[in-house]
Chains A and B, each alone.
Chain A
């Protein structure tokens, strides 16, 4: 089985978000980059499926050279090789076009990625890639097993979940608990250094541009209510906050 896992290199979930250059650029200073948490679930399940069924796992990132530590970590976790499309990930349509263009040549059985990136949170790249390739996509997937050429999938829906079956090839947006996150071991880290990482140039252009960033207005002070008067909260929510 040939599996492609698309990963994002994103600011750590605890990173302080700020902007520079007159609020036109994200401020990378002091920010640690990690594999997108949802992408990590996708990669971990891909490596498990490879262990069960044989085959290969290729990691794909659309990003600049500073994404390479994240890509090497994916190789250390168990991917066989990696491709980096040498461009900033600026627009969902653009990113999907890069993935679809590579997937159209390589004919993967499964294309996995996180349900969304944690920087722009759009959650549309899997659907776009699938449409560009003319195959089904499902998200958010919380369970995935493969039997022959059939995928057995559990997808989260509002207020519950549903079990589905579909034939490969498929594009899936993943989330917990599809697999436990894998931590690279020393042998993985050593072999990752020499695994192939191919850099290719992007095709086409995006359809949107992000011109300016803004931080939300600072939160006002928290109004503390003494525990002995807790009931007063309900009055305040009705008369002051006007949410009840």
Chain B
């Protein structure tokens, strides 16, 4: 019996959301009197992987076959399943993401495991195995019992606050059997914006809507985001009008974010937009219309012209550094 944590790597480093999963899995292992092992797939240095120990894991399995360098849902699912079997793990923990969801789903199919996504807190073990999860796009929570022997828990981003220690983890090479049948999907080309902060992973987000009047005005949004070290985002109309790429669209049918700070400039706050941002810890709304519905969901509000306010906030951030 043990807990296995599936982590994702980004440029050789364990992603922030995956470190949250490591912490969650390690705390869960403590509750169960067992240990937590991490699986990392892809290229990374031993010292980087050992950092999983700071978050509570005792061991890291590192699968670094050249064929696994590009993320591959089926192959990763097979590797994770083999790791579960080798370790005799009965619980898999991972961070919810598009890759994580896809891999976890296939592993659930292979192991006949119960799978619960968007989990926000450690389980209650007093009466079975009950977790709290976010539902209705952040508008409610549900208590869910996991009833099978094998369990998979995908945690919501920024729902747990890891506590780091000096402990380190041992790193072992893991050489899984790879099956040619898992490599049927061919990657033709990747289009990725370079050097921007990943929106789903970001602690701070500056988002803007139609109030910006046109894509040529995005400079003031980017300036504030750069000053803060924040990711940029936008509302659905802005992405529909092609002012900004779709991967920046937050809302009901776009990305759901849960950063520590979400600043919305020139976004009125339609219920479908709120659905994508309602898990943010602090929401700031800047809008010239005092009746904009977004103010009802905000922690801080400024009624004013975004073209005046945003540059002044950027200056204030730079001056405070």
Q: Residues of A with Cβ closer than 8 Å to B?
A: 11, 13-14, 17, 19, 37-38, 91-93, 96, 118-128, 130-132, 136-140, 142, 156-167, 175-177, 207-216, 219-220, 222-227, 230-231, 233-238, 241, 243-244
Chain B's closest residue to A123 (CB) is B101
Given A159-B199, A160-B191, decide whether A237 and B97 contact each other with a Cβ distance below 8 A.
Answer: no
CA A207 to CA B186, docked complex, whole Å:
33
Given A17-B139, A138-B185, decide whether A222 and B300 contact each other with a Cβ distance below 8 A.
Answer: yes
Given A176-B246, A207-B113, A207-B148, decide whether A233 and B228 contact each other with a Cβ distance below 8 A.
Answer: no
- Kindly name the residue among A96, A124, A212, A215 whose own CB sees the greatest number of chain B CB atoms within 10 A: A124
CA A238 to CA B316, docked complex, whole Å:
12
17 contacts between A and B (CB under 8 A): A38-B253, A126-B105, A127-B105, A131-B110, A136-B74, A138-B185, A142-B246, A157-B247, A162-B187, A207-B113, A214-B141, A223-B299, A226-B302, A227-B303, A230-B304, A230-B313, A244-B317
Interface residue B67 (Cβ < 8 Å from any Cβ of A): no
CA A126 to CA B106, docked complex, whole Å:
9
Chain B's closest residue to A127 (CB) is B105
Structural contact, B109 and A222, CB atoms closer than 8 A: no
Chain B positions within 8 Å of A130 at CB level: 105-106, 109
Chain B positions within 8 Å of A236 at CB level: 300
Interface residue B30 (Cβ < 8 Å from any Cβ of A): no
Q: How far is the CB of B302 from chain A (nearest CB, A)?
A: 5
Q: A96-B109, A223-B299 are in contact. List 20 more A-B contacts (CB 8 A).
A: A17-B136, A121-B118, A121-B256, A122-B101, A124-B104, A127-B101, A128-B109, A130-B106, A137-B73, A137-B102, A139-B98, A139-B101, A157-B192, A158-B247, A162-B191, A163-B190, A165-B186, A222-B300, A236-B300, A243-B203
Chain A positions within 8 Å of B246 at CB level: 142, 156, 161, 176-177
CA A167 to CA B185, docked complex, whole Å:
8
Chain A's closest residue to B138 (CB) is A216
Chain A's closest residue to B192 (CB) is A160
Q: How far is the CB of A144 from chain B (nearest CB, A)?
A: 13
Chain B binding site: helix, strand, loop or mixed by DSSP? mixed
Chain A's closest residue to B74 (CB) is A136
Chain A positions within 8 Å of B298 at CB level: 222
Interface residue B143 (Cβ < 8 Å from any Cβ of A): yes
Structural contact, B135 and A119, CB atoms closer than 8 A: yes
Structural contact, A234 and B109, CB atoms closer than 8 A: no
Against A, the Cβ 8 Å flags (1 = close, 0 = not) of B167-202 are 000000000000000001111111111001011110
Structural contact, A212 and B143, CB atoms closer than 8 A: yes
Against A, the Cβ 8 Å flags (1 = close, 0 = not) of B133-151 are 0111111111111111000
Given A224-B301, A230-B304, A234-B317, decide whether A124 and B108 contact each other with a Cβ distance below 8 A.
Answer: yes
CA A216 to CA B204, docked complex, whole Å:
22
CA A92 to CA B144, docked complex, whole Å:
12
Please pick, from A91, A96, A207, A233, the residue contacting B313 in the complex, using a CB distance under 8 A.
A233
Q: How far is the CB of B12 from chain A (nearest CB, A)?
A: 16
CA A167 to CA B183, docked complex, whole Å:
11
Q: How far is the CB of A90 from chain B (nearest CB, A)?
A: 10
Given A13-B275, A136-B184, A222-B301, decide whether A131 and B142 contact each other with a Cβ distance below 8 A.
Answer: no
Given A93-B114, A119-B136, A230-B312, decide whether A132 and B105 contact each other with a Cβ distance below 8 A.
Answer: no
CA A230 to CA B142, docked complex, whole Å:
39
Chain B positions within 8 Å of A158 at CB level: 97-98, 198-201, 247
Given A136-B185, A207-B114, A208-B144, decide whether A234 and B192 contact each other with a Cβ distance below 8 A.
Answer: no
Against A, the Cβ 8 Å flags (1 = close, 0 = not) of B213-253 are 00000000000000010000000000000000111000011
Interface residue B2 (Cβ < 8 Å from any Cβ of A): no
Q: Residues of B with Cβ closer than 8 Å to A?
A: 73-74, 77, 97-98, 101-106, 108-110, 112-118, 130, 132, 134-148, 154, 184-193, 196, 198-201, 203-204, 228, 245-247, 252-253, 256, 260-261, 271-272, 275, 278, 281-282, 284-285, 295-305, 308-309, 312-313, 315-317, 320
Structural contact, B143 and A160, CB atoms closer than 8 A: no
- Kindly name the residue among A14, A167, A175, A231 whose own CB sees the greatest number of chain B CB atoms within 10 A: A231
Structural contact, B142 and A214, CB atoms closer than 8 A: yes
Chain B positions within 8 Å of A123 at CB level: 98, 101, 105, 117
CA A121 to CA B117, docked complex, whole Å:
8
Structural contact, A241 and B247, CB atoms closer than 8 A: no
Chain B positions within 8 Å of A216 at CB level: 138-141, 278
Structural contact, B300 and A233, CB atoms closer than 8 A: yes
Please pick, from A125, A161, A207, A211, the residue contacting B112 in the complex, using a CB distance under 8 A.
A207
CA A222 to CA B187, docked complex, whole Å:
47
CA A110 to CA B203, docked complex, whole Å:
38
CA A231 to CA B309, docked complex, whole Å:
8
Q: How far is the CB of B91 from chain A (nearest CB, A)?
A: 13
Chain B's closest residue to A238 (CB) is B320
Please pick, from A138, A165, A177, A209, the residue contacting B145 in the complex, using a CB distance under 8 A.
A209
CA A241 to CA B284, docked complex, whole Å:
11
CA A226 to CA B303, docked complex, whole Å:
7
Structural contact, A164 and B185, CB atoms closer than 8 A: yes
- Kindly name the residue among B97, B116, B278, B308 whose own CB sees the greatest number of chain A CB atoms within 10 A: B116
